[in-house]
Chain A
Amino acid sequence: MKSVEIVARTREEALELALKELEVDESKVKVEVLEETSSKGFLGFLNVSKVKIRVSIKEDMAQQAVRLLREILVNMGVLAQVEMFKRPGYVMLNINGDDLGKLIGRHGQTLNALQYLVNLAMYKANENHERVIIDVAGYRKRREENLKRLALSTAERVNRKGRKEILYPMSPHERRIIHLTLQNSKEVMTYSEGEDPHRRVIISPKN
């Protein structure tokens, strides 16, 4: 966190100097008073008050999310870099490094748990929170392509055999990808059954 320490005669003066140095306005900083001495000199003529403050730039939600994610990775014993991208309506955190399979887990289970907990923590700590999406080396994009392929190949089989098929349990986001992929199909329809986290998509013939 970027910060400066300033000594001046009054708090106002110190804060003004600090804001000038940090090049931000008052709403974006946190002020701590480190020392404050005020001694009225002889008959009030020699006023030697002194104040020392520390002014730090507040972290925004995206920076907090990056810091939390890095701490979690360190504690999981994972050596990796975290990149952050601000997008309209959400924040993207991309994790890069070697041997990150254990961070993804089966069908992305571990990655989804990580994303869920980071979102909860940000929701708790910020009034204006945005959704945080966490990816590991482009995994989510590849996963989306795999799900689309799965949807199309299963739909083809369902149509050929005239018998419905039940897919394995998926997260709401993953199920959405299946539904959207097949929404315009003339041969099959899709719906979900069961309760999260075991909710499954069913692909069935239309007739």
Chain B
Amino acid sequence: MKELVELLAKSLVDHTDEVYVRKEESANSILLEITVHKDDIGKIIGRKGRVIKAIRTLVWASAPTDKRVLVELTE
């Protein structure tokens, strides 16, 4: 899942070598936190959040069903 988020993020940004995804797993949830170059933040969010929503949709489709999965972007 972490690799999926990394792949998707890298395919959308200009600064591909500044894409980091941190995974934090607890008993009932998984947090995937994306960090990108500041000029690329808009590309990951998209107009009205459309891009980040699409990334979440793909992650949720392939996520284990027993845990809540959160995909967030940090500054």
Q: Which residues of A pack against B, CB within 8 Å?
A: 68, 71-72, 75-78, 102-103, 105, 109-110, 112-114, 116-117, 120-121, 124-125, 196-197
Contact = CB atoms under 8 A, between A and B. Distances in A.
22 contacts: A72-B4, A72-B7, A72-B8, A75-B1, A75-B3, A76-B4, A76-B62, A78-B62, A103-B61, A110-B58, A114-B58, A116-B51, A117-B11, A117-B12, A117-B55, A117-B58, A120-B11, A120-B51, A124-B11, A124-B43, A196-B48, A197-B53
Nearest to A120: B12
B62 A124 contact: no
Contacts of B7: 71-72, 75
Contact of A102 (B4, B46, B51, B62): B62
B54 A76 contact: no
A123 to B, nearest CB: 10
Interface of B: 1, 3-4, 7-8, 11-12, 14, 43, 46, 48, 50-51, 53-55, 57-58, 61-62
B50 A116 contact: yes
Contacts of A197: 50, 53
Query: Which of B11, B43, B51, B53 counts the most chain A CB atoms within 10 A?
Result: B11
Given A72-B4, A76-B4, A102-B62, A121 B11 contact: yes
Given A116-B50, A117-B51, A120-B51, A76 B11 contact: no
Query: Which 8 A-B pairs give the minimum distances between C-beta atoms?
Result: A113-B54, A121-B11, A76-B62, A113-B57, A75-B4, A110-B61, A75-B3, A102-B61
Given A72-B7, A124-B12, A117 B54 contact: yes
Contacts of A77: 62
Contacts of A112: 54
A73 to B, nearest CB: 9
Nearest to A75: B4
Given A75-B1, A120-B11, 15 more contacts: A72-B7, A72-B58, A75-B62, A76-B61, A77-B62, A78-B62, A102-B62, A105-B57, A110-B57, A110-B58, A113-B54, A113-B57, A116-B54, A124-B43, A197-B53
